[in-house]
Amino acid sequence: MEFPVISTYLRVRYAETDQMGVVYYANYLVWFEMGRAEYCRQMGFSYASLETDGFRLMVADVHCRYKAPARYDDTIRVDTTIRDLKKKTLTFDYNIFNDASGQLLARGLTKHVCTDREGNLTRLPDAFVRCMATSHHRPQP
């Protein structure tokens, strides 16, 4: 299976900065969340509908390496792809850029396990898995 790279754009909020004058480090994980939500949406299976169907993608593991700071009002691009897709687990991969300069700000990944509403480990739904890979993807104009 091949997985495309999907870009998500956002503008840095004042709320996301800290007294060092840069974006507080935990907020990059929120941007990861936006990146994987947009990935799923563009591939045709929104994370919201996955939850409606009774599934949860619990985060099991996160890693982030910070290269350069993001600042208030910067336009940010989050490039998201899937690094690994198994029966019950899924790993997203992220590269975060300052969109104006093209500078890489951070790289990271999140590993998820699929559970039902009660938190029991379960298989990712087939329809979701099929949507995640490239053959399905038709780039939007």
Among 1, 5, 60, 100, which residue sits at the site for its own copies (rule: CB under 8 A)?
Answer: 60
Instruction: Answer yes or no whether residue 15 interacts with its own copies by CB under 8 A.
Output: yes
Of 55-63, 76-84, 90-98, 124-132, the segment contacting its own copies by CB under 8 A is 55-63
Nearest alpha carbon to residue 70 among 93, 92, 100, 94: 100
Instruction: Answer yes or no whether residue 17 interacts with its own copies by CB under 8 A.
Output: yes
Tally helices (H) and strands (E) across the chain: 3, 5
Look at the alpha carbons of 30, 35, 39, 41 in this order and tell me if their dihedral is positive or negative: positive
Q: How far is CA 121 from CA 2, 51, 53, 60, 68, in A?
A: 25, 14, 15, 12, 37
Which secondary-structure segment (H or E) carries 34?
A: helix 27-42
Among 18, 53, 84, 116, which residue sits at the site for its own copies (rule: CB under 8 A)?
Answer: 18
The minimum distance between CB 80 and its own copies, in angstroms, equals: 14
Among 1, 5, 30, 127, which residue sits at the site for its own copies (rule: CB under 8 A)?
Answer: 30
Of 52-60, 75-83, 86-94, 125-133, the segment contacting its own copies by CB under 8 A is 52-60
> Of the listed 18, 53, 61, 73, which one is catalytic?
18
* d(C-alpha 99, C-alpha 2), whole Å: 25
Binding site for its own copies (CB under 8 A): 13-15, 17-22, 24-27, 29-30, 33-34, 37, 46-48, 51, 56, 58-66, 69, 72-73, 119
